[in-house]
Every structure is written in structure tokens, then in C-alpha cells.
């Protein structure tokens, strides 16, 4: 008699000899009983383990498909002690009104999500307003995640450094400094600030302003680089505080009378979003850009090509940065302490300078 194949219809009968519905396959044990093998063999076969004979693996896979069986992912994760979930966390310590819909966050999230899911993991997204120093420790030690990516460090360097002492699979997008314990991937912000200063001064600007909030490490480094680059050429820089939160930027700009009245001849904004708001505020008041004032951003978001005039900016390669973050994260999940990565910024000259 030829053996039955799961690709062929099979009839089932009850103890009385009457036709009956096929048995329900709810567990690996049920499937193992049907296949005539051990539950361990079924588990290995469904995981694609090459230690299982190819014919046996194909037979078990066909049986699972024929009975609509789906392995219990939760049980599998308990056995392997892996959750197949990566946390993406946005800490907002000093910029509490920023939203996930911020164009920078959305650009970075898209790049990270593509790469993490390509590695077979799900994503848990969390926006955090830190209320105590243990906020990150609770996330990392929850047992719900295989690793954590931070988009930005905000003013939370101390909390991040504390967790990095005991939690290896943690990678941040942001600033890196010698002696820093946690792994960070980001651009050399000081170098970016210097590039901006050199560019505007080379075009004749002598009254410079920096528009941004320097409480976060990344923005502080951009300001320091801009001020240092200008000082090396004998040009002073005025710091004009401005938030990163979209619904606060315009009000901040309007408070700076020297800026909106055109008393500077060049301004470096801490982000493209701040620069875009500055362009609009200056246009509303008849200040011509770049004729009366040059405006530069920092990021090179896709929106930077849509402004009028098109925005000159310092580019940080977000796509490459996301790839480096995910590579470092999965190396760290595997136990390899991947190092920090610092990318060089690039000047993107358009029409606003």
C-alpha cells in the first residue's frame, strides 16, 4: 500500500466506523502524534533546522500546512529566551512637547523599522518623558525586549550611562565623547558647526547667530563648533534660545527681535525644522533670504528641498546612521560589544546662503 501524503485528501473515522472531522492540531505534540515523530523533531523541523532529514522536514511542514497549524510564538520565545522585539525609545527630557510626528523622528523611524524588521524582529515604540533616573533601566530590564535603540539622548546622559554599565544591547543615535560608556552612532556635530561657520563667513557674513536649545549634547556640540569656527576667523556668535518642538519654535523666533528685524546677516539653526520656521518668520516680515540674511539648517531632511528658498544645511546621513545602529545593536545582542560610530557631516549648499 502506498503511504498517505498530506497533499492528498484523507478520510477520518470515529470508533463506530462513521466518517468524522479530522482531529484538531493545537500543539506541537498533536502534530508529532500525526507525523509519528517526537515533539522535538517537529519543533526543529518547523524552525528549518537542517539536522532534521529533508524528507521528514518536508512531511512535517506539509502536515502543519494541511491542518492550519501555527507554532506558538510565545512558547518558542520562552524556550529561546528571546522576544524577537526591539524597543525604539524617544527620550524627551528637556523637549517635552516634541511629538513622534516630528519629521526628523519619522525619517529616522522609517529607516530603523525597515532594517529591524528585515532582521526578523518586531518593534515596540515608546516616547518617554523621564520623571526619575530609573526610567531607562525599567525599560531595558523588563524582559520584554531583546535590545533598545534610543533616538536622541536629550539631557539624559547620566541615566543612559548608568544602564550601559550592565545592559549591552543598547545603542543611541546621538553624541559620542571619549570615555562615554554607551554605544552611540551619530554625526560629528562640532565638525558640522564649524563647516557652517566657514561657509557663511566665506560668503561675507560677519554678524552671526545660532538658533537652538543647547541643553542637549548634540545641539550643544553644534553650537560649540559654530562658535569655535567663527572665533577662529575673528567673528562673534550670538546664541538665541529656541526649542525643537514644532509648536514652540515660531513663538521662540518671534521673541528674538534682533533676528526678525534682520540685524544679523547669517543664522545657523540647530535643526532643519527650526530653520524652516525662521524662513517663514523672516518672509512674513519682508526680510529677504539670502540677500539680507543667510539661513542654514542641520539634518538635511527631505523637506529641506521644498522650502523657498531651498534650504542650505549640514547633512547627517540618516539612512547610513540607521544601518550602523541596527548593525551595532544585533552584534551586541549576540554578545559582541560593537563600538560607537561617528560619521562626518556634509555641507549641502542650496539657495538660502
pLDDT range class, residue 319, cuts 50, 70, 90: very high
pTM for the full predicted model: 0.78
For 12-78, CATH gives 1.10.260.40
Dihedral of the alpha carbons of 184, 223, 226, 349, in degrees to the nearest 10? 70
CA atoms within 13 Å, Cβ hemisphere of 321: 29
Q: Where along the chain do the CATH 1.10.260.40 domains lie?
A: 12-78
The third-level CATH classification (topology) of the domain covering 85-187+318-343 is Rossmann fold (3.40.50)
d(CA 284, CA 260): 9
- In terms of Cβ atoms closer than 10 Å to its own Cβ (0-12, 13-18, 19+), residue 131 is exposed
Joined grid coordinates for residue 328: 551595532
Closest CA to 152 of 74, 195, 88: 88
pLDDT for residue 90? 96
Span 161-185, pLDDT tens digits: 999 999 999 999 999 999 999 999 9
What is the rounded distance in angstroms from the CA atom of residue 118 to the CA atom of residue 28?
27
Q: Tell whether the model's pLDDT for residue 15 goes beyond 60.
A: no
User: Which pLDDT tens digit goes with each residue over 188-239?
Assistant: 999 999 999 999 999 999 999 999 999 989 999 999 999 999 999 999 999 9
| Cell numbers found for residue 149 | 535603540
Class of domain 189-315 (CATH, top level)? alpha beta
Closest C-alpha to 204, from 250, 264, 277: 264
Give the pLDDT score at 81: 63
Q: How far apart are CA 38 and CA 23, in angstroms?
A: 18
pLDDT at 13 over 70: no
Instruction: Provide CATH 3.40.50.2300 ranges for the chain.
Output: 85-187+318-343, 189-315
| Cβ 113 vs Cβ 85: under 8 Å | no
CB 321 within 8 A of CB 112: no
Amino acid at each position: 500500500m502506498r503511504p498517505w501524503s498530506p497533499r492528498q485528501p484523507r478520510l477520518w473515522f470515529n470508533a463506530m466506523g462513521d466518517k468524522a472531522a479530522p482531529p484538531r492540531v493545537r500543539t506541537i505534540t498533536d502534530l508529532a502524534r500525526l507525523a509519528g515523530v517526537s515533539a522535538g523533531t517537529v519543533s526543529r523541523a518547523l524552525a528549518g533546522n537542517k539536522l532534521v532529514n529533508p524528507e521528514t522536514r518536508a512531511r512535517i511542514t506539509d502536515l502543519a500546512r494541511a491542518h492550519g497549524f501555527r507554532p506558538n510564538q510565545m512558547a518558542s520565545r520562552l524556550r529561546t529566551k528571546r522576544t524577537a522585539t526591539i524597543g525604539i525609545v524617544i527620550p524627551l527630557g528637556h523637549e517635552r512637547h516634541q511629538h513622534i510626528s516630528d519629521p526628523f523622528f519619522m525619517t529616522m523611524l522609517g529607516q530603523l523599522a525597515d532594517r529591524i524588521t528585515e532582521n526578523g524582529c518586531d518593534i515596540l515604540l515608546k516616547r518617554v518623558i523621564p520623571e526619575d533616573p530609573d526610567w531607562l533601566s525599567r525599560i531595558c530590564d523588563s524582559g520584554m525586549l531583546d535590545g533598545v535603540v534610543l533616538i536622541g539622548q536629550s539631557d539624559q546622559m547620566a541615566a543612559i550611562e548608568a544602564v550601559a554599565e550592565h545592559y549591552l544591547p543598547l545603542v543611541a543615535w546621538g553624541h559620542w565623547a571619549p570615555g562615554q560608556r554607551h554605544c552611540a552612532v551619530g554625526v560629528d556635530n562640532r565638525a558640522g558647526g564649524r563647516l557652517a561657520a566657514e561657509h557663511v563667513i566665506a560668503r561675507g557674513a560677519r554678524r552671526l547667530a545660532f538658533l537652538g536649545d543647547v541643553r542637549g549634547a548634540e545641539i550643544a556640540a553644534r553650537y560649540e563648533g559654530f562658535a569655535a569656527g567663527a572665533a577662529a576667523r575673528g567673528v562673534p556668535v550670538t546664541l538665541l534660545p529656541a526649542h525643537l518642538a514644532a509648536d514652540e519654535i515660531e513663538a521662540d523666533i518671534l521673541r528674538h527681535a534682533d533676528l526678525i528685524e534682520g540685524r544679523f546677516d547669517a543664522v545657523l539653526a540647530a535643526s532643519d525644522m527650526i530653520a524652516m520656521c525662521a524662513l517663514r518668520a523672516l518672509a512674513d516680515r519682508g526680510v529677504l533670504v539670502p540677500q539680507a540674511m543667510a539661513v542654514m539648517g542641520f539634518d538635511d531632511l527631505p523637506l529641506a528641498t521644498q522650502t523657498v528658498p531651498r534650504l542650505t544645511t549640514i547633512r547627517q546621513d540618516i539612512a547610513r546612521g540607521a544601518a550602523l545602529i541596527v548593525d551595532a545593536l544585533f552584534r551586541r545582542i549576540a554578545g559582541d560589544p560593537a563600538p560607537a560610530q561617528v560619521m562626518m557631516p556634509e555641507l549641502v549648499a542650496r539657495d538660502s546662503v
